[in-house]
Structures are given as structure tokens and as C-alpha cells.
Structure 1
């Protein structure tokens, strides 16, 4: 009887640990993964970025390789904030980060920049053939 109780306890313990691990992993992933509503907002923001004067200036002087959409709920005090959305314009020199300028997102602006993978690596697609 004691062996059976030990086995059940061990299985219960493993189950609790596994569920905690999967739950925490799922929560962390949800902080930076866009859901369907986020994708609609990010799509509209991407159109606004492409029409933005700052983007046009960047595109005129550098080769734009990718436009990447992102969500970051991890460090935002208000999870429903429009400021958690960002559009990253990746060139061979930098990644320019565009975000909304106000709570209604009537306009987007280049609010920063970061490292671009294209400064060290070639594009994944054969872009020379397309151009």
C-alpha cells in the first residue's frame, strides 16, 4: 500500500511541476506574441509607417529589407495601452522602431533604433533577383 501511495505522490508532483512549467511558458509567450486583434492593429500601423515622412526618408537613403511587427506587453503598466505595439523597419544599417505618438494612434513616429541583423548577414530571400 505504501509503494502505491508513493507512486501516486510522485506522479502528482511531476504533474504539478509540468503544469506550472507549461503555464509559465505560455504566459511569457503571450507577452510578446500578437493575437488576432493585435494583428489588425499592427497591420494598420504598418500602413501608417509606410506613408510616414520619416520612413520615406529612411527608404530613400538606405535599403529596407524587412518591416517587422511586434507586441511587448511585458514591461507595460497598462496592458491595453497602444504604446505596446511597434513596427521595426530593418535596413542594412539599423532597425528603426516606429510607435504611436498618442493614445488614439493618429500618427506614428520613429521613436528609436536598434541593431539590424542585415548589417552582418545577407537577406534570406534572393532579393537581387527580384530587384
Structure 2
């Protein structure tokens, strides 16, 4: 009779451990699809430099205030997760966020491939950039 309570406790602990490990594994996998690793950060850094030198970016910067340049990776957006096309650079202005990505597999240049809502169209910048002391 004493074996039954021990078995129930073991089953509860095993089930809890299994559920927790599944949750943590799935959570980590999902975060890895949107979080750049060290290699991704190097590629995104070079792409950011290409964006800053890009003619389309220069035109955007001349007519709108650029508040932030954000780097992103999304391995769900392309058929091949190792492709260079899952890297994106977001140029955030007071009106819109412009999305720059590579124009070819070799990433010989970047191009403005789309735009989306910018948080700065309705909110103030986080840092006090216009503070002149």
C-alpha cells in the first residue's frame, strides 16, 4: 500500500518535468527564430552600413526625421531559413518605418522593400534628443 503514494508522486513530478521542459524548449525555439545570433549580428551590422550609404535612405533622411534604425531577423518569412532574405533593417521616422532588405542572395545592395507604422507618429522619442543644455 505504501508504494501507491510514491508512484503517484513520481508520476506527478515526471509529468510536471515533462511539461516544463516542453514549454521551455518551444519557447527557446520561438525566440531563436526572431533573435539574432552572433553571425546574424555581424551581417546585420554590415547591412546597416549599406542602408546608411543607400540613396533611398538618404532621400528618406532628407525629408523626414530618423529616430531609430532597428535590426531584425525573421526566419519564418522565407522558405529557406539560411537565406539572407530573412534579415531586415527598419528605419523609423516620425511618419513611417521603412523596411530595407537585400536585393539578391549575395546581398550586393539593399533596397527599401516596404514600410509599416512607426511608433513615433503618435508617441514621443524615448530619449530626450532635443534637450539643449
- Superposed pair shares fold, TM > 0.5: yes
Look up the SS of the partner of 1:79 in the other structure. Answer: coil
Alignment counterpart, residue 103 of structure 1, candidates 100, 105, 112? 105
Q: 2:73 is matched with which residue?
A: 71
User: Structure 1: which 4+ aligned runs deviate by more than 4 Å?
Assistant: none
* Alignment RMSD (CA, Å): 0.8
Q: 1:126 is matched with which residue?
A: 128
Using the size of structure 2 for normalisation, the TM-score is 0.96
- After superposition, the C-alpha distances for 1:28-76 in whole angstroms (9 at most, x for unaligned) are 0000000000000000000000000000000000000000000000232
Unpaired stretches in structure 2, ≥5 consecutive residues: none
Structure-2 separation of matches of 1:74 and 1:27 = 12
Structure-1 separation of matches of 2:61 and 2:75 = 29
Alignment counterpart, residue 20 of structure 1, candidates 12, 19, 22? 22
Unpaired stretches in structure 1, ≥5 consecutive residues: none
Structure-1 separation of matches of 2:72 and 2:88 = 5
Structure-2 separation of matches of 1:8 and 1:40 = 47
Which structure is larger by alpha-carbon Rg, 1 or 2?
2
